[in-house]
Amino acid sequence: MLENLFKQHEVPLWGKLCATVLTYLSPDAADNVNQSLATELKDMERMELIGQMMVKGNIPCLTCGVGDECEMSGLRKRYGPDARSSDYPYTRVEDQKEVWGEAMRIGRLIGERLRSTNRG
């Protein structure tokens, strides 16, 4: 999908600054996806990857209100047929200090680069 999305641009993307934000439930799968994104952006699109953030997420079933009764519940698929939404805490990005730290670092780097580029 990335290839199709990026190839639609009339403006070349090489040399442009970028960062990725990935939400996940499974850290191992997220690591693989993050690595693939980095390869695509750096090697194929020749963009400058400033940083990558990984945010631990939630199954939407924890908050939809139907998760315990839903036939398509990801909660049951992930945790078993007896899983109840009340058994699993909701993960808040606001509580993930390392994510906020990385977001600030990436933001500062992009800001510095843009300021230095605009000064000519």
Up-side HSE of residue 68: CA atoms within 13 Å toward CB?
Answer: 6
DSSP 95: G
Q: Do 67 and 49 belong together in one domain?
A: no
Range of the domain at 106: 2-57+92-119
Averages of pLDDT over each 10 residues, the chain, 120 residues: 55 87 93 96 93 92 77 83 86 93 95 82
Same domain, 83 and 108: no
Residues 50 and 8 in one domain: yes
Q: How confident is the model at residue 35, as a pLDDT? A: 96
Rounded alpha-carbon distances, angstroms, from residue 72 to 23, 60, 63, 66 = 21, 11, 14, 10
Same domain, 100 and 85: no
DSSP string, 28-94: HHHHHHHHHHHHIIIIIS--EEEEEEEEE---GGGTSS-TTT-TT-HHHHHH-TT--GGGSPPP-GG
Please tell me the predicted confidence (pLDDT) of residue 1.
Answer: 45
- Tell me: do 51 and 97 sit in the same domain: yes
Compute the distance between CA of residue 25 and CA of residue 6 in angstroms, rounded to an integer: 26
| Single pTM value for the model | 0.74
Helix (H) or strand (E) holding 107: helix 97-119
- 45, two tokens: 């699109």
pLDDT of residue 6: 54
Query: Does 10 lie in the same domain as 46?
Result: yes
pLDDT of residue 37: 95
Q: Give the pLDDT of residue 29.
A: 94
**Domain tally, the chain:** 2
Quick one: 27 and 85 in the same domain?
Answer: no
Tell me the β-bridge partners of 56: 24
Segment (H or E) for 119: helix 97-119
